[in-house]
Amino acid sequence: ARAAALAEATGPGATRDGHPVPLLANIGGPSDVAAALEAGAEGVGLYRTEFLFLDRSHPPSDAEQESAYRAVLEAFPRGKVVVRVLDAGADKPLAFLPPSAEEPNPALGERGLRMLRRHPGVLNAQLRALARAAAGLTTRLEVMAPMVTDVAEARAFAAACAEAGIDHPGIMIEVPAAALRAGDLAREVEFFSVGTNDLTQYACAADRQVGALSHLQDPWQPAVLDLVALAAEAAADTERGCGVCGEAAADPVLACVLVGLGATSLSMSAPSLPLVRAALARHTLAECRRAAVAARSAPTPAEARTAARAELPALA
Ligand code: PEP
Ligand code: MG
């Protein structure tokens, strides 16, 4: 019992019946690594690189980028680090990358990969710095693009990665169009990572910065669960990984549901890791799947949560 309690507190993520679910950390830079390691993160599932670029008038130098990436990669020699290329625009405007025109709806504007495709020099410099940072290390480096909508974008990103020497390209699934056509996208890249924050914002047409709409900015919305399921099913059909790195993964009940929907890893801010690890360790994969079916059968977010909980008896 003591060994089980210890594994529940710090061991690798797994369901009670031993189905592995790697538990990874969301970080903003090298200064978040210590907390991730302390919480038992098996790697990094979302390295938000925009923090390196914010509040400055020029992009960071190649050397500065390389050292910020290497510091994180070196900390997980037996794990993986999923780096997201610059996600600028919308809520994260950059002085040196202004939108090409006035944007009345910045969340629907030139952000993420859309912005990088207009500034290929910025993307290519970042990819090359990442490839140099990973050279000679045992850490598995995966690199993903934010705000991907269609096959042309995924294909262009995979090509840019190949050109820069990045072996494992992936995309975030955070636009409903991408979830709906995940089967096509899976053929272009190696993995998916579902960003439930933006996927919820776009599925429910509810700006994530508008507090009055928080009832719609809820990943328990059955429509959001359906979109996650579509992405996870397409990933499974093509033997791709499908992680979840939005805030939804940090809710222990929803984490079990996401695993039941087919998520293959979960990434969250470090303080949430222990509770999610414990919730998974107390339930079988079959229970998680039943919770997922129950949640998707419910017509409202509140009923989805109640229905899922009823299938997860060991939740604290
Ligand atoms: C998301 O959209 O769910 C996500 C993880 O990315 P960010 O919150 O940085 O937009
Ligand atoms: Mg996002």
What pLDDT shows up at residue 49? Answer: 97
Q: Which residue in the list 161, 204, 242, 245 is annotated as catalytic?
A: 245
Distance of CA 193 from the midpoint of ligand 1 (Å): 10
Task: State which ligand 1 atom lies nearest to the alpha carbon of 174.
Answer: 2
Distances (CA, A) of 297 to 122, 143, 287: 44, 35, 15
54 is written with which tokens?
């914010």
What pLDDT shows up at residue 97? Answer: 86
Angle at 51 between CA 248 and CA 65, to 5 degrees: 125
245 is catalytic: yes
Q: What is the DSSP string of 35-88?
A: HHHHTT-SSEEEEETHHHHTT-SSPPPHHHHHHHHHHHHTT-TTSEEEEEP---
ipTM: 0.99
Residue 251 labeled ligand binder: no
3-state secondary structure of 192: strand
Residue 51 burial (CB count, 10 A):
15
Cα–Cα distance for residue pair 66/60, rounded to 1 Å = 10
Task: State which ligand 1 atom lies nearest to the alpha carbon of 50.
Answer: 9
What pLDDT shows up at residue 250? Answer: 97
Residue 174 labeled ligand binder: yes
What pLDDT shows up at residue 93? Answer: 80
Question: Considering every ligand atom, which ligand is closest to the CA of 200?
Answer: 1
Residue nearest to atom 3 of ligand 1 (CA): 195
Give, for all 316 residues of the chain, the pLDDT tens digit: 566 665 666 789 999 999 999 999 999 999 999 999 999 999 999 999 999 999 888 999 999 999 999 999 999 999 999 999 999 987 788 888 888 888 889 899 999 999 999 999 999 999 999 999 999 999 999 999 999 999 999 999 999 999 999 999 999 999 999 999 999 999 999 999 999 999 999 999 999 999 999 999 999 999 999 999 999 999 999 999 999 999 999 999 999 999 999 999 999 999 999 999 999 999 999 999 999 999 999 999 999 999 999 999 998 6
Cα–Cα distance for residue pair 24/41, rounded to 1 Å = 5
Look at residues 154, 216, 197, 203 and name the one whose alpha carbon lies nearest to residue 176: 203
Pocket around ligand 1: residues whose beta carbon is below 6 Å from it?
46, 48, 87, 174, 195-198, 245-246
Question: Considering every ligand atom, which ligand is closest to the CA of 146?
Answer: 2
Angle at 36 between CA 231 and CA 56, to 5 degrees: 85
